[in-house]
């Protein structure tokens, strides 16, 4: 069983997922828009919804992260209650990800050695998503 993270955005999901695919060097995402869904005779799809992302996903460091735009008119709360943790055995990867994601965002803790990790840091990216980066030395069991 896997736990996947699902992130919602307010009309800029395509930009977000393409950015993350570039940062983490993943394959280009397959994107399904609301306009690509089967028509429902009981519901007329609003024009402004047709190009919005209904669903897409990326594989990031062995985890599936799923994304979508909220449907027009639905409430949207920026993802400040979500933190994504990237744990990697290669500190150079952590440094690369951290430095790219902090651009246009805010560093909440610079990469540094802590009592639980030889390389740990956190940042909020330019889309308001909180990220944590931690080195896995194979010893701590965390």
Question: Over the stretch 87-98, which tens digit does the pLDDT of each residue have?
Answer: 889 999 999 999
Residues 51 and 107 in one domain: no
CATH code of the domain covering residue 49: 3.10.180.10
Spatial distance between the Cα atoms of 11 and 3, rounded to a whole number of angstroms:
25
Give the mean model confidence (pLDDT) for residues 106-134: 92
pLDDT at 39 over 50: yes
Q: What DSSP state is assigned to residue 35?
A: G
pTM (predicted TM-score): 0.75
Residue 113: inside a domain, yes or no? Answer: yes
Residue 59: inside a domain, yes or no? Answer: yes
Domain range enclosing 50: 5-69
* Residue 53, Cβ density class (10 Å: 0-12 exposed, 13-18 middle, ≥19 buried): buried
Residues 103 and 56 in one domain: no
β-bridge pairing 120-124 and 130-135:
antiparallel
The torsion angles phi and psi of 122, rounded to 5 degrees, stand at -145, 155
The residues pairing with 43 across neighbouring beta strands, listed in sequence order, are 40
CB 130 within 8 A of CB 108: yes
Residues 12 and 55 in one domain: yes
Residue 51: inside a domain, yes or no? Answer: yes
Q: How many domains does the chain have?
A: 2
Residue 78: inside a domain, yes or no? Answer: no
CATH code of the domain covering residue 93: 3.30.720.110
């Amino acid at each position: 069983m896997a736990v996947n993270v699902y992130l919602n955005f307010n009309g800029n999901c395509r930009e977000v997922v393409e950015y993350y695919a570039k940062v983490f060097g993943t394959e280009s995402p397959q994107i399904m828009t609301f306009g690509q869904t089967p028509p429902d005779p009981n519901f007329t799809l609003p024009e402004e919804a047709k190009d919005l992302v209904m669903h897409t996903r990326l594989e990031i460091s062995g985890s599936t992260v799923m994304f979508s735009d909220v449907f027009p008119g639905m409430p949207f709360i920026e993802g400040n209650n979500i933190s994504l943790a990237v744990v990697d055995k290669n500190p150079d990867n952590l440094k690369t990800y951290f430095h790219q994601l902090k651009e246009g965002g805010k560093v909440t803790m610079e990469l540094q050695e802590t009592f639980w990790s030889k390389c740990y840091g956190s940042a909020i990216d330019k889309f308001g998503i909180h990220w944590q980066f931690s080195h896995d030395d194979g010893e701590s069991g965390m």
